[in-house]
Chains A and B, each alone.
Chain A
């Protein structure tokens, strides 16, 4: 009763099983059907008009080839055009002066809003030619009804953009002292940044308020683009009556509400006797 040793049954490896699977092939008839179906689909694809985005996409992709360079060219052109303007703005300096004023403070306002109270009108001299000198030209203003004289200081930037500063002074301020004050003024470099909102504009203005204390106060208004006609450059300076709603520069759309002035004043911590300048 001898038992023969049992041979281990041959079993496949994984690779052999995968090779077995690889042998699965469709019958030759399958390919005839396959080719017929493919031909039909191919013809349908040739005839069928693409719909929706597929229809627009080729022309869109083609148009991208010139849209991108054109956009870049326009952007470069805008930058080139804008650069001299911003350079001019940066190069313009405005002097801030503190003048001894004993009378009521002067606030800039438009001529149209000039109230019944005595108003000093300053006519800002015009110049079509860029000023060669960096020194401010001080123009004695016309005095109405013996009220406080208003002196206008104009500066020309390189691009003939007019910078005007109007300030009010007490009636007892003589011309010599005014001119002397300006003569000793240091040039303040104006940095103009784009203002995106009231908040940024306000903070910028608040930074520019000089904290120097003086017995009187003065408002300087500098406008970078006053209209070119001399008559429109008349800026009325009112003494005690802050306009009810606005103090408006000659430039449209640049107005400051009174409460903003008050708020700035409170921030400065001095309701009177302070010197502050506002630039637009």
Chain B
């Protein structure tokens, strides 16, 4: 069964992913051989993506920072137990996502949002200006409120639905990769994604195009 899964992964993964996975495997081998500093390369490579996922799951930048660090520490500590059945990034994502989900379950009642700033590279979309004008607010203020609103809508989703939509929409993973990270079937991923989008649409109805 493991063999079939490994083979299917080879065919499912894109060429870029495969190159990436090979490069990661070399670094992992170095770390295992005792070159602890080599792990920094992996941190540099994945920290932003891991942080983005955890942040969108928790909607709290402090928690996201801690959980991202914890994910890297955990990966570092158990790198010898990483068997190579899945690619390193999938394994690391799984650690991060599981850590975040555990954190969310433990702090179910706590809702404290802290919002990140938008990347300066991102161009302000036209609809944001229009909505800001409609709302009679400054663009920055409106953008901040909108982020807050989106975070709230995300937090209304179940952890599983939130994880799927975060991995798909925010990080851009494929269904197969999400299935591997979440250890479920692709059908389950598609189903969760569909319902997550329906729920978000219902919640953000007043903002969306009719």
Taking Cβ atoms with an 8 Å cutoff, the residues of A that contact B are 9-18, 20-27, 30-31, 33-35, 37-38, 41-42, 45-46
Contact: B208 with A18, CB < 8 Å? no
- A contact residues around B72 at 8 Å (CB): 38, 42
Chain B interface size, under 10 / 10 to 19 / 20 to 34 / 35 or more: 35 or more
- B contact residues around A24 at 8 Å (CB): 52, 55, 115-119, 147
Contact: A9 with B128, CB < 8 Å? no
Give residues of chain B (9-43) contacting chain A, Cβ–Cβ below 8 Å.
Answer: 36, 39, 43
Q: Is there a chain A Cβ closer than 8 Å to B138's Cβ?
A: no
- B contact residues around A16 at 8 Å (CB): 125, 127
Contact: A25 with B69, CB < 8 Å? no
Q: List 22 A-B contacts (CB under 8 A).
A: A10-B126, A10-B130, A11-B127, A11-B130, A11-B207, A14-B200, A14-B201, A15-B169, A17-B204, A18-B165, A21-B170, A22-B170, A24-B118, A25-B118, A26-B51, A26-B116, A34-B47, A34-B65, A41-B69, A41-B70, A42-B72, A46-B36
Contact: A9 with B130, CB < 8 Å? yes
Contact: B170 with A17, CB < 8 Å? no
Distance to closest chain B CB from A11 (angstroms): 4
Q: Residue A20 contacts which of B55, B130, B146 (CB distance < 8 angstroms)?
A: B146
Contact: A12 with B125, CB < 8 Å? yes
Bound-state Cα–Cα, A194 to B146, Å: 76
Bound-state Cα–Cα, A9 to B208, Å: 11
Q: A12-B207, A23-B122, A37-B69 are in contact. Are A42 and B150 (CB under 8 A)?
A: no
- B contact residues around A9 at 8 Å (CB): 130-131, 134
- B contact residues around A10 at 8 Å (CB): 126-127, 130, 209
Q: Residue B209 contacts which of A13, A26, A35, A41 (CB distance < 8 angstroms)?
A: A13
Distance to closest chain B CB from A45 (angstroms): 5
Contact: A17 with B208, CB < 8 Å? yes
Bound-state Cα–Cα, A21 to B149, Å: 10
Bound-state Cα–Cα, A11 to B146, Å: 13
Give residues of chain B (108-162) contacting chain A, Cβ–Cβ below 8 Å.
Answer: 115-119, 122, 125-128, 130-131, 134, 146-147, 150, 154
